[in-house]
Structure 1
């Protein structure tokens, strides 16, 4: 995908995530809310659209931002922001995940600012047209990322 197209899609995604976060926040009630109590249909509609966009953008987001893991210091539970920001998750995880997703998209956009708009951006830093070699490179890049996340969890870092 061309950098200009990717930036355009990420900017649209960011705007829609901000709108979703705001509507989701307005739909909560009580001092310690867990789930929205109003705007169900609109939230479900927006969530479905955003999850679909995330399906397309996730490999790019993972390449452009080093970590998407948050951790609660109180409970020592960690989770992936990309898995919990959208969909039907409870407020204690979803709220921080939405904010981290919005911040992460901005970081990804900032990293793309260093590329030429017409440059082709491919996930995993691939440089070959051979599909078998490309598949092997993709698998290796995912293993490296997974090992970094596991090491950071083992070391107690988020």
Structure 2
């Protein structure tokens, strides 16, 4: 079952790829503190992920910070070497942190997995974006059309953050 608002993020071993290098940590260590935007992609360097999904978050890092986001994290079911190369190639390293979930343990625990074995890709994350407050999910946006970035894109998440702030104030 897909993780829902009000649920805590699971704690599973992952590889964190950041400006500091690659480290073995738990998903709860990465996603469990402060306001986190966590978006998931089917694969590093894949066309939609590379050209349409990741760039919006990289281009809007400052806007996310102004909206109160402490950390932007991209999750993908790729090994840490591929993820690091992708982060460097896109200029995202140092702006966004990456979770390399090579065995899809986090994807499965969060109910965000999709079997793309028919296309030779195996188990992958579905395309999604979540807002997480101190380890508790407050928003889950899933894409239902392959190759589409709408509800999980940077613009939609910035709008959701703005709406959350207005609700908190009102």
Q: What's the TM-score once normalised by structure 1's chain length?
A: 0.27
Bigger strand share: 2
Higher Rg:
1
